[in-house]
Every structure is written in structure tokens, then in C-alpha cells.
Structure 1
Amino acid sequence: MTHDQNFKNLILDYPRQAIALFAASEARAIDADARVTPVRQEQLQERLGERFRELDVPLLVEWPDGRREAILFVIEEETEPARFSVHRLAHYCLDLSELLDTRRVVPVVVFLHAGAFPEQLALGGDAGTYLDFRFLAYALPRIPARQHFDSPNLVARLNLPNMAYGPEDKVDVYAHAVRGLTDLEPDPERRLKYLDFIDIYAALDENERIVYRQRYPEEVAEMTRFAERFIQQGLEQGLEQGLEQGIEQGIEQGLEQGLEQGLEKGRQEGIGLGEARVLTRQLTLKFGPLPEAVLTRVESADADTLLLWSDRILSAKTLDEVLQ
């Protein structure tokens, strides 16, 4: 998955927090009554060329009671500042302004890597400037990570690894990002999703993961307990669904056969909800990056084996003790 897609997912999952972080000066006027919705890209494809479709995450902020005029936030992630085109962004914002019949458009660019970039586009002649286009720039590598260690904004906490910090602070930055995820995001699916986001951008090596486990044992234990609960919840949900289906099948095919098939289907569906992925996360948190052979074993293991390994992980001191 590309950096651009990672950030699109982040902004679409947490639009208010994204606006609050990346466009703070404009976000102050957005109260709890405002409604924030993404502008569906399908509505833009016929109007805009293919080269523009990957640029945007447009968020429309509206007040249902009509007391304020709607405002459109256009948030672009740019990995390499040298590739950023202010002309392209200006063109895109003008197209959106015409398409949605509004002049209330806030262009925002989030820069992932360090580097110089143009901060405005001014077109004119000798007598004056006739187009002056500016945008809000949020250069993550220029933002001190420590300023956001205890931020209540989940988008800020998830982006701690992309902010500025010294090599000696890398493990602490990772820990505060993970702690923000566990404290601020109750949904288990999103926790798993954005733990991957943190891992991708923090990129801890094996030694740094060892330091993390030693320095933050409570966080490691919390994520392990969460993973176990997620496995159990998935299995129970799958069994329940399978049992219901089995009863329905039993009416037509015989109750006993239907229940048996339903229970088996439920068990398989429960395992299919992410147990292999969760176990991989548990093993990585406890033992560091996993060899390819171990990843293959986990992905190909059956339901009973995955549950057995999950039971062993808390007491095991080595990877071999889990997978023996």
C-alpha cells in the first residue's frame, strides 16, 4: 500500500481529527454541530482527468441548520516535496470550486519527507498580480514529536513516527504512538489497522523492539491481552453465526447435519476474522521481526493450532516454545 493510500485511509477514518491537526487555523470554527463528509470521488471522475483523481481527499464541512456556509477542505499527502506541483493543486481546487459552486475552499498539503517546496503561486504582469494562490502546508518532519506525546488527537499520535525526533527518542516515539492508539481508539479492527500504520512509519529494527519490550512491558502486555480478546471475540461470533445458519439448514436438510455444518462453518469463520494476523502481531511484539518461515507457518496453520499457540504466548520465553 502506498503512502498516499495510507494517508487517504487515515483522513477518511478520522476526518475531524485530520482537519484539526493539518488545518488548525481553519478548524477552530468547526463545532460539534458541523457535519464532515468526504466528497465521493465517483462524482469527480467525469469532470476531472485521470491525473487528478489520486490527488485529493476532499472533506465537505456543513452545518445542517444552515447558520454557516459549507466549507471544503482539500487535503493532499505529498511524500517527496520535490514532486509537489502547486500548479496542479491550484488547478484542482479551481475545478472543485466550480464543480461544487463554492469559493470556500481550503487547500492543505501534508509533506511526509523533508525538503523544500513552493509555498504559493502568483500569476501576473508588470502592473499587478492577478492570481495569488496559497495553501496550508503541514511538513511533518518539521514538527517536534514531543509536542504531541500526550495529544488527544489520534491523527497526531499516529503520525508521531513521521515527526521530528532524535535517534535516541525513536522507541519512546513509537511507544507514545501505540499508547495513543490503545487509549483513543476502542474499535479492535481499527486498532489492528493503525498498529500497522505505526509500524510502517516507525520501522523499528530488532534491537529497538527489544528495548521497547524492556522499557514498556505494560504496553506490550496490554496489546497481547487485546489480541487474545480479539481472537476469542472472533471465534465466538463465528460460532454464533454458524450455529444460526446450521439451524436454518437443519430445517431443510436435517437438524443434526445442519448444526454440525453450522458449527464447523462458524469455527472457520471465527478463525477467518483475523486470528492468524493477530497472532503474528503478538509474536512480533514479544519476539521482534519474524522469519519468513514462521510467517508462512502461522498463515497456513489451522484453527486449533492457532489457538494453541495463542495460549502459549504469554508464558513462553522464546519463539520456539510457542511453535513447538
Structure 2
Amino acid sequence: MSHDQNFKNLIVDYPRESIAFFAAAESRAVDDGARILPIREEQLKERLGERFRELDVPLLVEWPDGRRAALLFVFEEETEPKRFSLHRLAHYCLDLADLCGTDRVVPVVIFLHPGTYATRLRLGSENTAYLDFHCLDCALFALRARAHLDSRNLVARLNLPNMAYAPEDKLEVYASAVRGLRELEPDPERCLKYLDFIDIYAALDENERILYTQRYPQEAADMSGFAQRFIEQGIEQGIERGIEQGIEQGVQRGEARMLLSLLRLRFGELPDAVQRRIENADADTLLHWSERVLTARTLAEVLDDAC
């Protein structure tokens, strides 16, 4: 699983919310008049070394009316703190500052797991510091989920499963994350995309999913209805792509994509063999499996050809 890629997507899709949540101390400077531009890695490859390409997408904040100089936010997700290098981040920030022509840089590191890490780097002698670099650190594992259950910041709600909570609160945390997504994200395709995000980090087992349906019947029903609409939409999208690429191939790809997303939503991360089986199935088989997603208790029940 690429946590780095998951957080890249999150930061690029929700740049303003990411700044407000992960870099709250600096977010007040980013008012409604600011324009936020993701600087994609592809634009940096000629200037930056290979080792820097795994870092997350930086965000350049500009004020079109010229009130302030550009402000660069540099986000890095680090799953394991022992792998984090403050020297590497400092080097990266200096290169980006030179590339973008600004000395207004805010480095932010997002930690998923606890561990030991440095947030300040001082280069110099005993008499003088010639480089004094430090970063903001957002330790998701240390944030109290209960303090963010009703947040209107979608990035905060999506990350509830990554925060600290008592074991008995897990389903409430999951329900709040899903509810926040449905309330704050109007785009149905992004809803499906970030239901996957919530599911990956909540990692409910089969018993927890059953309990969730019992304790939160309205949320579960809403999700099921949404999923059903997306099955239908996926078929329509497949047909539209089929006009350009061949009807049969278009429908198959649309249905396979929707079915994979729905299965991850219901049962968590899928084995590679299951993913390959779905990608290679014909359109009729995919539609047959899709009809079972909402009622099947296990992944095997969905894909059992004997049913």
C-alpha cells in the first residue's frame, strides 16, 4: 500500500483543507483571495535528484492582486518516523525555494505512526548558526479523534481513522468519517475515491462491519444506496467510454472499476488474485457480481460462481 500516494492525492484534491488541517499555525495567511497551485513532481524532475521524487506534491500559494509574496507549502507523509530525514527535507526545500523564486517556505511532515524524529536542524559552529531549519510536524496518531468528529474540514474527517481513539469508539469514528465525506463532498466520484481512503485506514474486520450496520443503520443504508447508484453510473460511464474504445471493452472497464471500489468499501483491501479475476471478467459476469455486493456477507459470496 502506498501511503505516500494516498496522501499525495488527498493534498492535491483538497489543498486548502490540507493547509488548514496539517499546517494550522500558518493557515491564517491563506485567505479566500489566495490561489493555491499544486507543483507536480513531473515539473521538478529536471531540477531535483531522484531521491526527492517520492516526496508529496508541494503547494504554491499566490495572491493575484500582489498583496503578498508567494508562499510555498511543502508536505511530506512519513509512515515510519525512523525513515524520516530532516537533512533531505531541508535540501528539498532549498531546491524548491530556488526553483520557485521564494524564500517563504513552510515545510510540513505528516506522521502516521509513533516514533522518534527530529524537527530542527542547526548547521554551524559553537559560535554561530549558519543554517537553522525546522519543520511543522502533524502527528496524526497523537491527535484525539473525538475532538474532530464534527469538523467541517473534510481532510480532518477523512483522517479520523488515523487518529487516537479508544477501541470501543472505532465504529463511531468510522461513521463520522463517512458522514463527513457524504456531507462535505458533493462530487460522487470523489466520494467513492475517498470512501476507499477511509476504509483503508479504518480496516474494519467482518464482525466490525456487521456491528457497524447494526449500530448505524441510516449511515449504512445511505452508503448502500450511494453504492448502488454508483454501480449504475459505472455502467453508464463504461458505455460512454465504449463509444470511443468499443462498446464491450468500455462497459467491462467501467464495471470492473466500480466493482473493485465497492468491494474495497465492503471488505477492505483485496488480494491481487481477486483484483486480476475482476479485471479479466466479462461485462455480464461483472454485472452479476455487482448485484451481490450489497447483500453478500463475505467476499467469497460475491464471487462464488455456484451461487
TM-score class, shorter: 0.7 to 0.9
Tell me the distance in 1 between the aligned counterparts of 2:72 and 2:3: 23
Give the Cα–Cα distance (whole angstroms) in 1 for the partners of residues 204 and 238 of structure 2. 34
- What is the aligned partner in structure 1 of residue 59 from structure 2? 59
1:121 alignment counterpart: 121
Question: Would you say 1:136 and 2:146 are equivalent positions?
Answer: no
Matched to 1:160, the amino acid is L
What is the CA-CA distance between 1:101 and the residue it aligns to?
A: 1.9
CA change 1:65–1:312 in 2 (3 A) is same
Residues 1:203 and 1:153: Cα distance change in structure 2 (over 3 Å): same
CA distance 1:291–1:76, shift in 2 (3 Å): closer
**Residues 204, 268 of structure 2: 8 Å contact kept:** no
| Displacement of 1:146 | 0.9
| Structure 2: distance between partners of 1:105 and 1:320 | 52
- Mapped contact 1:58–1:72 kept (Cα < 8 A): yes
What's the % identity of the aligned pairs? 66
Residue matched to 1:16: 16
Q: CA deviation at 1:284?
A: 6.5
CA deviation after TM superposition for structure 1 residue 8, in Å: 1.0
Counterpart-to-counterpart distance in 1, 2:267 and 2:30: 44
**1:254: which partner in 2?**
none
Aligned residue runs from structure 1 range 28-177, under 5 A:
28-177=28-177
Name the CA shift for 1:77/1:310 in 2 (closer, same or farther; >3 Å). Answer: closer
Q: What is the CA–CA distance in structure 1 between the aligned matches of 2:61 and 2:18, rounded to whole Å?
A: 13
Give the Cα–Cα distance (whole angstroms) in 1 for the partners of residues 50 and 297 of structure 2. 53
**Deviation (angstroms), 1:128:** 3.0
Residue in structure 2 matching 1:270, options 251, 255, 276:
251
Counterpart in the other structure of 1:225: 225
TM-score (norm 2): 0.86
Residues 314 and 42 of structure 1, relative CA distance in 2, 3 Å threshold:
closer
TM-fit CA distance, 1:16: 0.9
Residues of 2 paired with 1:300 and 1:23: CA distance?
A: 43
Query: 1-side partners of 2:253 and 2:194: how far apart?
Result: 20
Equivalent residue, structure 1, for 2:195: 195
Q: Give, in angstroms, the shift of residue 294 of structure 1.
A: 7.4
**Kept after mapping to 2: 8 A contact 1:56/1:76:** yes
Larger deviation, residues 221-230 vs 13-22: 221-230
User: SS of 1:272's equivalent?
Assistant: helix
Gap runs ≥5 in structure 2: none
With 35-44 and 76-85 compared, the bigger mean Cα shift is at: 35-44
What do residues 16-67 of structure 1 show as CA deviations (whole Å, max 9, x unaligned)? 1111101112111212221111123233222221112212421100111112
Q: Which amino acid in structure 2 is aligned with residue 185 of structure 1? A: E
TM-score normalized with structure 1 length: 0.82
Q: Distance in 1 between matches of 2:24 and 2:281?
A: 47
Q: Is the 8 A contact 1:238 1:269 kept in 2?
A: yes
Query: Following the alignment from structure 2 to structure 1, what is the Cα–Cα distance between the partners of residues 46 and 286?
Result: 48
* Alpha-carbon separation, structure 2, partners of 1:291 and 1:80: 24
**Residue 204, structure 1, aligned to residue 204, structure 2:** yes
Instruction: Tell me which moved more, 37-46 or 232-241.
Output: 232-241
Aligned residues: 304
Structure 1 residue identity aligned to 2:10: L
Following superposition of structure 1 onto structure 2, how do residues 232-247 of structure 1 map, counting pairs within 5 Å?
A: 232-239=232-239
The change in CA–CA distance for 1:104 and 1:267 in structure 2 (over 3 A counts) is: same
Q: Unaligned stretches of 5+ in structure 1?
A: 246-261
The answer (yes or no) to whether the contact 2:6–2:197 under 8 Å persists in 1 is yes
CA distance in 1, matches of 2:20, 2:4: 19
Please state if 1:303 is matched with 2:283: yes
Asked if 2 retains the 8 angstrom alpha-carbon contact of 1:209 and 1:288, the reply is no
Classify 1:290/1:107 alpha carbon distance in 2 versus 1 (closer, same or farther; 3 Å): closer
Evaluate the alpha carbon distance shift between residue 69 and residue 25 of structure 1 in structure 2; reply closer, same or farther with a 3 A threshold.
same
Structure 1 residues 223 and 65, CA, compared in 2 at 3 Å: closer, same or farther?
Answer: same
Between the aligned partners of 1:7 and 1:147, the Cα distance in structure 2 is 22
Please identify the structure whose Cα radius of gyration is greater.
1
1:292 deviates by 8.7
SS of 2:59's partner is strand
